[in-house]
């Protein structure tokens, strides 16, 4: 085979002869095609073409076998750890950490035991209770009317109010925090029918009475000398501060904000209502089940 190859001759343009009617002559077209076929050289074998040996498939790599061996070793190690887990846990339970071991931990004792829960919770509020010893109804409309000491609680909007005298509850320690509380009757008890409420009874005002009225009879000068059997609205004692409000619809009870217990032996308050169509009436009798107004004093 000659090392040098003949270059293809340069293609030259040859006009195609036409018939008189303008159509291409078939003899001219066939001659042109035959000349083009002889002018293009045929492909010759080259030494650079790939051989059959180079197209043979390569050997598979060793990586899949390594992955298989590694997975098998990992599964074997996991099985050994699971088999040793019961023995490890039993050994750990048999030898718990001592106090010195716990203190040597980098973050100290971060565990919370049930025996320590009480140290983190505030103590419950425990109160001593006192029932009113004097209950008197007075009427702004009937200023000179006298009902005297009894058990009737009668409060209406801007007309009627009730005066109560509470003994100061005793305290085990020197606690000086008191509050007025409303205890509603049990929902399904017979005494639930004894309470009559109308209108808005969510804000009953509790006012402290601090001094006898200047118009009171007998010229008394202290609240301890006040005669509740002849008390009327015209001789109503002087109001002091508003101790708070009570919501008679609250469950299970309603309590005013805490205030300082008076240093005297008793606390006299007036319960009145300024809400729309407010009406409260019942007999506060000391029988079970109890319900009504009471004075409470915190023990702690």
**Averaged pLDDT in 10-residue chunks for the chain of 300 residues:** 46 52 53 52 50 55 79 90 84 73 66 65 79 94 92 91 93 80 88 90 93 76 86 91 93 91 91 91 88 87
Q: What is the reported pLDDT for 54?
A: 53
pLDDT at 213: 84
DSSP state of 99: H
- Cβ atoms of residues 209 and 298 within 8 Å: no
Between β-strands 292-298 and 152-156, what pairing exists: parallel, antiparallel or unpaired? unpaired
At 4 the pLDDT is 45
CA distance 106 to 142: 78
Q: Tell me how far apart the alpha carbons of residues 169 and 149 are, in angstroms, rounded to a whole number.
A: 21
**Which tokens hold the place of 118?**
């009480």
Query: Are residues 152 and 194 in contact, defined by beta-carbon separation less than 8 angstroms?
Result: no
What pLDDT sits at residue 89? 79
DSSP H/E element including 69: helix 63-94
pLDDT at 121 (0 to 100): 76
On whether the pTM is more than 0.75, the answer is: no
User: What pLDDT, on the 0 to 100 scale, is given for residue 2?
Assistant: 45
Q: What's the length of the chain?
A: 300
What pLDDT score does 299 carry?
Answer: 73
Task: Please give the order of strands across the beta sheet that includes 152-156.
Answer: 152-156, 279-283, 196-198
> What is the distance between the alpha carbons of residues 127 and 57, in angstroms, rounded to a whole number?
94
pLDDT at 188: 83
Question: Mind listing the domains of the chain with CATH numbers?
Answer: 127-298 (2.60.120)
């Amino acid at each position: 085979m000659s090392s040098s190859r003949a270059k293809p001759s340069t293609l030259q343009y040859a006009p195609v002869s036409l018939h008189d009617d303008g159509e291409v002559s078939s003899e001219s077209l066939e001659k042109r095609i035959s000349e083009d076929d002889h002018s293009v050289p045929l492909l010759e074998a080259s030494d650079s073409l790939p051989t059959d040996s180079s197209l043979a498939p390569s050997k598979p790599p060793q990586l899949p076998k390594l992955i298989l061996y590694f997975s098998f070793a990992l599964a074997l190690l996991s099985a050994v750890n699971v088999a040793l887990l019961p023995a490890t846990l039993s050994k750990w339970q048999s030898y718990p950490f001592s106090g010195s071991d716990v203190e040597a931990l980098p973050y100290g004792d971060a565990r919370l035991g049930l025996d320590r829960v009480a140290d983190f919770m505030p103590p419950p509020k425990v109160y001593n209770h006192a029932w009113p010893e004097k209950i008197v109804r007075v009427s702004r409309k009937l200023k000179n009317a006298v009902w005297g000491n009894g058990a009737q609680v009668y409060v209406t909007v801007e007309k009627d109010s009730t005066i109560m005298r509470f003994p100061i509850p005793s305290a085990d320690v020197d606690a000086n925090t008191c509050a007025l509380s409303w205890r509603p009757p049990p929902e399904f008890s017979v005494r639930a029918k004894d309470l009559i409420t109308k209108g808005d009874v969510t804000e009953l005002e509790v006012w402290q009475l601090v001094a006898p009225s200047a118009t009171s009879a007998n010229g008394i000068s202290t609240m301890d000398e006040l005669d509740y059997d002849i008390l009327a609205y015209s001789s109503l004692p002087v109001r002091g501060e508003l101790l708070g409000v009570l919501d008679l619809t609250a469950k299970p009870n309603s309590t005013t904000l805490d205030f300082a217990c008076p240093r005297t032996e008793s606390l006299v308050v007036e319960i009145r209502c300024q809400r729309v169509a407010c009406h409260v009436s019942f007999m506060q009798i000391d029988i079970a089940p109890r319900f009504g107004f009471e004075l409470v004093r915190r023990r702690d």
